Structure 1
Amino acid sequence: MAAPRVSVFPSPQELGPALAQLVAERAAGGGDRFSLGLSGGSLVGLLARDLPAAITGPATTGPAAPARWLLAFCDERLVPLEHPESTAGAYQTQLLPRLPGPPPRVLTPATGLPPAAAAEEYAGQLRQAFPGDDVPVFDLLVLGVGPDGHTCSLFPDHPLLQEEDKIVAALTDSPKPPPERITFTLPVLNAARSVVFVATGGSKAQILKRILEGGEEQPLPAARVRPASGELLWFLDEAAAKELNIPVEKHSVL
């Protein structure tokens, strides 16, 4: 289990293209397809702004072409697609129409079901997409982190942090509205070949110090994401990284 690699950019304006380039490079990495798991929130706008440009030109029809992608969502609020809190809905309106060429295959949660049924239905989609794998192994997961240290819909002190059997779990008591959600579990996050966390803004500085410098008896959810055999990356802006006392890779304005 390798130590996380922390990259710090002057601002989100420089971080976005670097994140897009990372996705494009991993997409071009070979194999029959590229499996990508995305989180929502501010990541939607960041990727919608910078990812299409990173995969135009030769990448449109080459190994990085979106037609080869399997796209899934790392968690979802159980609201209609047109609801402003819908992660799938946000990507369908902001990112997917801007991708070049034939679209990727997208696994979309059935949000009209009760939480437990929605989780099982989405787990079924994953099992079909990753046949033969007890736990899906994504090529890349792009995750965010909340001001309380949560990632996906895995919140501090929540029982789902102990889930070891399910690949998708339901919750009806999310401390952040809306309360009904489904989420990838830690076994899925820790099976990925690559995981990149993205965090920006000074409001994240204190929680990032706790996550990345460690030493807590009960690690925060984001600190529990340590891929067993994959790489762990953190993309931060200077405001988010300002309290860190660990080695980081600083990137200047391009």
Structure 2
Amino acid sequence: MSSQTPSAEKRVVVEPTPAALAASVAERFLTRVRARTRNGRIAHIALTGGSMGGAVLRATAEHPRSASIDWSLVHFWWGDERFVPRDDPDRNSLQSRQALLDHIPVPPENVHEVAGPDTGLTLDESAAAYAAELARFGTDEHAWPSFAVCFLGVGPDGHIASLFPDRDEVTVTDAAALPVRDSPKPPPERVTLTRPVLNSSKRVWLVMTGADKASALGLALAGASYTSVPAAGAKGRKRTVFFVDEAAAAEVSPDLIDPAY
């Protein structure tokens, strides 16, 4: 029987500032995409919103190596989306387009946005449509693609995507995408991927900065209950990495920090 603890399977990479963290993650992201696509393979990527999600994508767009990527081989998805019109500032996809997607030669059909209310779909129909779109790229194992990299932000409450603590969505395993109503964080209506989809990713990269995230990070590394701290249950098949700044790492034991990764 393995003696590994849950925290031993997770790496923590610390950079001094949010800007340094964004640059470091962008560098690693381009390395992974290049490795995945250099032999003509498709790379599916799940993006996140928030200030750090946008900062990483801006750093990616500005990096000289971005021009060497064959972006026609890359498909972009989102771990969750706010159910608001396509050009609403609250949209994760709008933030991603402004930060990166509008600046690289990625084919429009490779960008898989969640339908908003301006499409005429209801919230439930939007979630069903996103699950159907995921299924178009499903594998032998799952009705969804396996993401080469799945970016996740982490809230101070430990939520990931729109999987919030102690809510029904966090325990669902028989669907790929779910409608979320009465979200504890505005806007109230959202569409989220479920835990099985997130955790079938090859690499889950959780990016978090600020002292207000230190408690959530500590609980996630300590193996807290997934239902009460969803970030604790995020796990990639090959790698699970918490990319954090020094402020967020304030409560992390030094032996959990991986200086070499």
- Tell me, yes or no, whether TM beats 0.5: yes
- Conservation of the 8 A alpha-carbon contact between 2:18 and 2:52: no
| Residue 112 (structure 2) aligned to one of 92, 96, 107 | 107
C-alpha separation in 2, matches of 1:118 and 1:102: 23
| Residue 244 (structure 1) aligned to one of 243, 252, 255 | 252
Given the superposition, is the C-alpha separation of residues 217 and 154 from structure 1 closer, same or farther in structure 2, using an over 3 Å criterion? closer
Q: Which residue of 1 aligns with 2:164?
A: 155
C-alpha separation in 1, matches of 2:227 and 2:55: 31
Aligned partner of residue 240 in structure 2, secondary structure: strand
Aligned partner of residue 46 in structure 1, secondary structure: helix
Structure 1, unpaired ranges of 5+? none
Given the superposition, is the C-alpha separation of residues 249 and 186 from structure 1 closer, same or farther in structure 2, using an over 3 Å criterion? same
In terms of fraction of residues, the more helix-rich structure is: 2
Given the superposition, is the C-alpha separation of residues 102 and 215 from structure 1 closer, same or farther in structure 2, using an over 3 Å criterion? closer
C-alpha separation in 2, matches of 1:238 and 1:60: 31
1:209 aligns with 2:218: yes
After TM superposition, the structure 1 stretch with the greater mean CA deviation from structure 2, 212-221 or 38-47, is 212-221
Equivalent positions of 1:37-48 (< 5 A) are 37-48=46-57
Q: CA deviation at 1:44?
A: 3.8
C-alpha separation in 2, matches of 1:223 and 1:215: 6
| Residue 181 (structure 1) aligned to one of 174, 179, 190 | 190
Given the superposition, is the C-alpha separation of residues 218 and 168 from structure 1 closer, same or farther in structure 2, using an over 3 Å criterion? closer
Query: What's the % identity of the aligned pairs?
Result: 34
Q: CA deviation at 1:216?
A: 5.0
1:129 aligns with 2:137: yes
C-alpha separation in 2, matches of 1:94 and 1:47: 9
- Conservation of the 8 A alpha-carbon contact between 1:9 and 1:250: no
After TM superposition, the structure 1 stretch with the greater mean CA deviation from structure 2, 43-52 or 154-163, is 43-52
Q: CA deviation at 1:210?
A: 1.3
Given the superposition, is the C-alpha separation of residues 84 and 102 from structure 1 closer, same or farther in structure 2, using an over 3 Å criterion? closer
- Conservation of the 8 A alpha-carbon contact between 2:159 and 2:165: yes
After TM superposition, the structure 1 stretch with the greater mean CA deviation from structure 2, 155-164 or 132-141, is 132-141
Q: CA deviation at 1:21?
A: 1.2
C-alpha separation in 2, matches of 1:215 and 1:106: 34
| Residue 67 (structure 2) aligned to one of 35, 60, 69 | 60
Q: How many residues align?
A: 245
Given the superposition, is the C-alpha separation of residues 165 and 11 from structure 1 closer, same or farther in structure 2, using an over 3 Å criterion? same
Q: CA deviation at 1:48?
A: 3.5
Q: Which residue of 2 aligns with 1:83?
A: 88
Structure 2, unpaired ranges of 5+? 1-5
Aligned partner of residue 249 in structure 1, secondary structure: coil
Q: Which residue of 1 aligns with 2:98?
A: 93
C-alpha separation in 1, matches of 2:100 and 2:224: 38
Q: CA deviation at 1:29?
A: 1.8
C-alpha separation in 2, matches of 1:124 and 1:65: 26
1:17 aligns with 2:35: no
Alpha-carbon displacement from aligned partner over 1:22-41 (angstroms, at most 9, x marks no partner): 21111112352111000101
Alpha-carbon displacement from aligned partner over 1:55-77 (angstroms, at most 9, x marks no partner): x35x534xx32221100011000
1:221 aligns with 2:230: yes
Alpha-carbon displacement from aligned partner over 1:195-238 (angstroms, at most 9, x marks no partner): 100000111112211111235595510101123x3210110000
C-alpha separation in 2, matches of 1:173 and 1:131: 33
Q: Which residue of 2 aligns with 1:29?
A: 35
- Conservation of the 8 A alpha-carbon contact between 1:198 and 1:236: yes
Amino acid corresponding to residue 118 of structure 1 in structure 2: S
Structure 2 length as normaliser, TM-score?
0.87
C-alpha separation in 2, matches of 1:83 and 1:199: 24
After TM superposition, the structure 1 stretch with the greater mean CA deviation from structure 2, 216-225 or 192-201, is 216-225
- Conservation of the 8 A alpha-carbon contact between 2:149 and 2:205: yes
